[in-house]
Amino acid sequence: MFRNFKLISHVVFGRGCFAQLDDILAVRRRTPGSFIVFILDHVFSGKTLESRIPVRDGDMLIPADTRDEPKTRYVDEMVAQVKAHSDALPDGVIGIGGGSVMDLAKAVSLMLTNPGSAADYQGWDLIRNPAVYHAGIPTLSGTGAEVSRTTVLTGPQKKLGINSDYTVFDQVVLDPELLAGVPADQRFYTGMDCYIHCIESLQGTYLNAFSQSYGEKSLELCREVFLSDIPDADDKLMMASYFGGMSIAYSQVGVCHALSYGLSFVLGLHHGIGNCVAFDYLEEFYPEGVKEFRRMMEKHNVSLPRNLVAGLGDEELETMTDVALVLEPLWENALGKDWKQIITREKIRELYQRM
């Protein structure tokens, strides 16, 4: 059975295209008395970007705290805040920020039309009702959250996405100018998320011509961005992220992502940096990729935190291992159908203990 997956219906790309947001939303403001919810990374509070958001009377502008990656509890709180604002549903939910804020916007738009807590829907195709119209506007590129059919959330028991066709954005606004202020280390970590998506997709057993086409182009763009000096690096990084996301949509990520999920769950390490920490120890799985990644690190003067796992107790290490092992499709993509013969609990512990 081939997957028949949903794509974003509208994409606008170009330097300055953020200025079109009011026009784009004008046609979505369909219900008299309704409103739009803008979820904005708190890093922009009081900044120029905030003042450029086309907020009209009755709209909500919610600053999103991104110190922690999105939690199901935080989504539930935001949904309650929107419901308290009006008895009517909003005409749209717009997320402006990195992967965290885009995921929050996706989750809030889903949970406005589906009962219960976001934690009830962590998994695959558990969502029953279509979401409110939702748009994503990246200010940081690499995760591919702008194109994916998931919103990655940390719940009480697990870090797992709400994967569904309804999760996919209706619109994305790709304006490379919005990447201008990203701190260099953060830009690198999130950019490497994209690079690792490509390596894991291209070396995976799930690879097919669809994923390969997007993955190879994305990898080429990552190399231009991180190994050479080019004037339009942000434009290319934005497209690398988009293509990297498209590549894994029809394949899967691999060993690095499985381990990185465990690191985030137990240590609260963010996705991009967690991937970098894990990837540096995965030469046996991705020899060429790890070598190239180290060259990129060197060029960008990035040093990674070390000995993060050394001080952990047995229970935490076990939890980390559980979180990683649950991600079976990732292991199968990386190592084939017989992955359980290669990857044991002991092997995972041993890898973690080096980090």
140 binds ligand NAD (CB under 6 A): yes
Contacts of 129 (CB under 8 A, 6+ apart): 113, 114, 166
139 binds ligand NAD (CB under 6 A): yes
Sheet hosting strand 150-154, strand order edge to edge: 123-124, 159-163, 150-154
Question: In whole angstroms, what is the distance from residue 182 CA to residue 184 CA?
Answer: 6
Q: How far is the CB of 215 from ligand NAD (least distance, A)?
A: 15
Single residue of 191, 204, 244, 272 touching ligand NAD by CB under 6 A: 272
Question: What is the distance between the alpha carbons of residues 270 and 313, in angstroms, rounded to a whole number?
Answer: 21
* CA terminus-to-terminus distance, the chain: 39
Q: Which of 163, 190, 218, 247 binds ligand NAD (CB under 6 A)?
A: 190
Contact letters for ligand NAD, residues 323-342 (x by CB under 6 A): --------------------
Distance CA 342, CA 258 (A): 15
Q: Roughly what angle, to the nearest 10 degrees, separates helices 287-299 and 271-279? A: 120
Q: If binding is defined by CB under 6 A, does position 198 make contact with ligand NAD?
A: no
For residue 296 the two structure tokens come to 């990129």
Cα→Cα distances 270→7, 25, 249, 278, Å: 26, 31, 21, 12
* Contact with ligand NAD (CB under 6 A) among 66, 114, 218, 247: 66
Residue 254 makes contact with ligand NAD by CB under 6 A: no
| Residues 296-315 within binding reach of Zn ion (CB under 5 A) | none
Least separation in angstroms between CB 44 and ligand NAD: 7
CB 279 within 8 A of CB 326: no
Partner whose binding site includes residue 277, from ligand NAD, Zn ion, none (CB under 5 to 8 Å by kind): none
* Per CB under 6 A, 218 contacts ligand NAD: no
Asked if 148 interacts with ligand NAD (CB under 6 A), we say yes
**Judged by CB under 6 A, which of 17, 75, 131, 145 binds ligand NAD?**
145
Smallest gap from residue 100 Cβ to ligand NAD (A): 3
Residue 39 in contact with ligand NAD, rule: CB under 6 A? no
Look up residue 165 and give its DSSP letter. G
Report the distance separating Cα 157 and Cα 112, nearest Å: 22
Does residue 193 bind Zn ion (CB under 5 A)? yes
Per partner kind, with CB cut-offs from 5 to 8 A, the member of Zn ion, ligand NAD, none near residue 148 is: ligand NAD
| Parallel, antiparallel or unpaired: strands 36-41 and 92-97 | parallel
Task: State yes or no: residue 150 binds ligand NAD (CB under 6 A).
Answer: yes
Please identify, using beta-carbon distances, which residue of 35 and 242 lies nearer to ligand NAD. Answer: 242
Q: Where are the alpha helices (DSSP H) in 168-270?
A: 184-202, 209-227, 233-249, 255-267
d(CA 74, CA 88): 21
Q: Which residues bind Zn ion (CB under 5 A)?
A: 193
Q: Which residues bind ligand NAD (CB under 6 A)?
A: 41, 43, 66, 69-70, 97-101, 103, 139-140, 142-145, 148, 150-152, 178-179, 181-182, 186, 190, 193, 270-272
